[in-house]
Structure 1
Amino acid sequence: MSADPNPLDTWKHAQWERFCQLSAATLITYEFIIQFGNEVELFWKKRWSVGKALFLWSRYYSLCFNIGNAVVFMHKPTLDICGNFFHWQNAGATLQLLTTHIILMLRLYAMYQGDKRVLAFMVILLFGEAATMGVFIGVNKPGLVGTNEPIPGLLICADGDPPGEHWIAYYFTAILTIEFALLALSLNKAWRHYRTGSGGGVMALLTRDSVLYFLAMFWTYVLNQVIWLMNRITLNELATGFSFSICAVLANRLMINVRESYYSGNAPEVVEFEIGESRPVRFRRTRATTISRNTNFELETFDHRRGY
């Protein structure tokens, strides 16, 4: 952990952190407001399901979590408040991250049409991620810095790795590893669809949104990784707020977009025309479904009768 040689830079960096945390909370609040209508129509008015419960948990938990973080950074906290905050932030961020990755894994499971090998691989990834995150937030490595006053007179929750060492920085290394694996699965499926021209409208939407999510979040986590490797105590939290809020916003949008696409094309079209004196030829256009199996996973059948 290092501090800026110039105290004025330290004050400036602390202000940057405050503004970034406030901006992240503003972003997720704005998204909550503009998508509230879709939330009511596509989720609250539908029957309860695994997907509905997962969406509502992710949406409201991430909103409260990010606003809570911003509130702490905007005040002048005591040392006890900062100590409790770091425990809350680490545990809360891990819970949000696991929730988001479950949503993404369900999307990938749907994209791969219920492939059990892909499911087994993702379950292993999920449990491995949970265990790794537990080690990073549960093991109190000697030398970790957590303070409410990084320099005299500056009151802000600031934390860092031990001087000349890295520990929390590896937290983002683990996240990047998982994100890279999920991105590879998504890109692989997108490439297959591109080469074969297969997959309906919903499958194309799943592929597009999943790839865009992984590309956006991968670079967000890379930014956090670089910042924590630099290990400036008043810069370490600069981008954490955006990594929390953007991943929640994009994951929630994945679920909203698929439901919106499905329910907007709920009624099949029938086209009728006559050939000579023959009886009418009728073509029935039905919306594309990704998976025909009747399971409990969200978006495998897109069955409106089950509230999906």
Structure 2
Amino acid sequence: MTPDLGHFSLEELIKEVYCTRLWNYTILSALVLYIYYYVTTLDSEVSVMWGAGFGIGKLIFYSIRYFTLFYVIFINIGLSHTHTNVSAETLVFWHFPIIVPGLRTTRCKILEDISYISTFVIILLADFALQLKLYALYQKSKRILTFMVIISISMVIYYTTFAAMVIKNWTIILVTDSEVNLSTHYMIYPSYYNKALIPKLITEGIMLALALRVGVKNMRQNGGIEMSNSLLNLIVKDSIFYFVVIFSLCLSNQLLRFLADPEFFPLPGPIILALEGTLSQHLLINVRIQASKRGGMETEFSLEGIRFRSGLGSDEGVPDGSFGSVYSITSTAD
């Protein structure tokens, strides 16, 4: 049952306060998770990434690493702090009010705007890392490069437009409730708010299919599913792992937006972004470590410049040898 816009029962207020506390717990969980990963990989950052030459891969790595750190510490904590004041604000999704205690209108709106934009920035940076990896898998194929550029531009336009429309169209309305002695603010979101992650699910599926194409091709030629520590195989395995985790979380979040009560919509967001930033960095560090073990490799780090020697066929430069025979040679290019 939808409460009246100007009146809420005590039970409804208690429910909304409970949901807000759950959201604060997910913020804390995301913060602990990311800080733990950040601290435990500082040695890898110093020993592996600092000495590498400038390249797109290195730029994306540091952008993801420190922008996500900024997000989980300053933006999320700032929002969590505003949720603990005396006043109350109600977020309304499709006319379903969500009362969140402690949101001061001006400060909250600024933080919400920054948080919403930062969410899409982290998503785009993580997608860029995955696309760069695919470019490496396909041996700098021009067709793959063109395809990735089209996807990247499309996603940038989509998320920029989507964020601008949501921020422009949400509205804050001040309402007082004398029965529970609370002042409330209604933040009204447009009806298309729940469709934000659908394009990401589609692009994640496309990129997984492209990565699996390389892996399946090599497994067939190898006559089995034997695994090795080759750079190509590492990228394929990381792609599958990344897809399973991130796609599952994004799909769960999207289903939650369609099926659950609006009060629960914000819950998965902080965890998804922390994990996405963590896994993207893990992929870039792994590739750099594995590639640096190959004899004579230049110190310049560039994922898109990694090549594999395995008797290339004519199919877009995809390696034709088995997993065991695929290894990187010494060239990088940026």
Same fold, judged at TM 0.5 (above)? yes
2:160 to 134, 144, 166: 134
- Say if 1:101 and 1:153 are closer, same or farther in 2 by CA, change over 3 A: farther
Pick one of 41, 46, 55 that aligns with 1:40: 46
Deviation of residue 112 (structure 1)? 1.5
Give runs of aligned pairs for residues 99-114 of structure 1, distance below 5 A. 99-114=125-140
Specify the code of the residue in structure 2 equivalent to 1:133.
Y
2:108 to 64, 67, 82: 82
Contact 1:73 1:156 in 2 (8 A): no
In the alignment, the residues of structure 2 paired with residue 150 and residue 257 of structure 1 have an alpha-carbon distance, to the nearest angstrom, of 54
* Superposition map of 1:94-173 within 5 A: 94-140=120-166, 144=170, 161-162=189-190, 166-173=191-198
Work out which of the residue numbers 48, 56, 63 in structure 2 matches 1:57: 63
Q: Deviations over 1:240-269 (max 9, x none)?
A: 101211111000000111111222x2448x
- Distance, in Å, in 2 between the alignment partners of 1:155 and 1:34 is 44
Equivalence map 1:1-308=2 (5 Å): 6-76=12-82, 77-140=103-166, 144=170, 161-162=189-190, 166-197=191-222, 201-230=230-259, 232-263=261-292, 265-267=293-295, 298-301=304-307
Q: Which runs of 5+ in 1 are unaligned?
A: 269-286, 288-293
Q: 1:79 to 1:52 in 2, by over 3 A?
A: same
Kindly state the Cα deviation for residue 46 of structure 1 after the two structures are TM-superposed.
2.3
> Does the Cα contact within 8 Å between 2:288 and 2:301 map onto a contact in 1?
no
Which letter maps to 1:48? F
Cα distance in 1 for residues equivalent to 2:116 and 2:205: 22
2:274 partner amino acid = S
Mean CA deviation greater in 118-127 or 203-212: 118-127
Letter in 2 for 1:52: K
Structure 1: how far apart are the matches of 2:138 and 2:159?
27
Contact 2:133 2:303 in 1 (8 A): no
RMSD across aligned positions (CA)? 3.6
Tell which has more relative contact order, 1 or 2 (C-alpha 8 A, sep 6+): 1
In structure 2, C-alpha distance between the alignment counterparts of 1:128 and 1:181, rounded to whole Å: 14
Counterpart residue type for residue 253 of structure 2: N
User: 1:299 deviation in Å?
Assistant: 4.7
CA contact (8 A) 1:161 1:168 kept: yes
TM-score normalised to structure 1 length: 0.78
Q: 1:154 to 1:50 in 2, by over 3 A?
A: farther
* Distance across 2 between alignment mates of 1:68 and 1:148: 27
Q: Indicate conservation of the 8 Å contact 1:21/1:69, yes or no.
A: no
Q: For 1:157 and 1:252, locate their aligned partners in 2 and report how far apart those are by CA, in whole Å.
A: 39
| Aligned-pair CA distance for 1:110 | 0.9
Residues 75, 49 of structure 1: CA spacing in aligned structure 2 closer, same or farther, 3 A cutoff? same
The alpha-carbon distance between structure 1 residues 15 and 46, as it changes in their structure 2 partners (threshold 3 A), is: same
Q: CA deviation at 1:21?
A: 1.2
Q: Distance between the aligned counterparts of 1:182 and 1:130, measured in 2?
A: 17
| Aligned residues of 1:160 and 1:233 also touching (Cα < 8 A) | no
Task: Write the letter of the residue equivalent to 1:241.
Answer: P
**1:180 to 1:223, Cα distance in 2 relative to 1, 3 A:** same
Partners of 1:244 and 1:221 in 2: how far apart? 10
- Name which of structure 1's ranges 221-230 and 10-19 shifts more when overlaid on structure 2: 221-230
Q: Distance in 2 between matches of 1:194 and 1:159?
A: 53
- TM-aligned CA deviation for residue 158 of structure 1: 8.8
Unaligned runs of 5+ in 2: 83-102, 308-327
CA shift in 2, pair 1:33/1:148, >3 Å: farther
Percent of aligned pairs sharing the same letter: 21
Is residue 42–residue 260 contact of structure 1 (8 Å, CA) maintained in 2?
yes
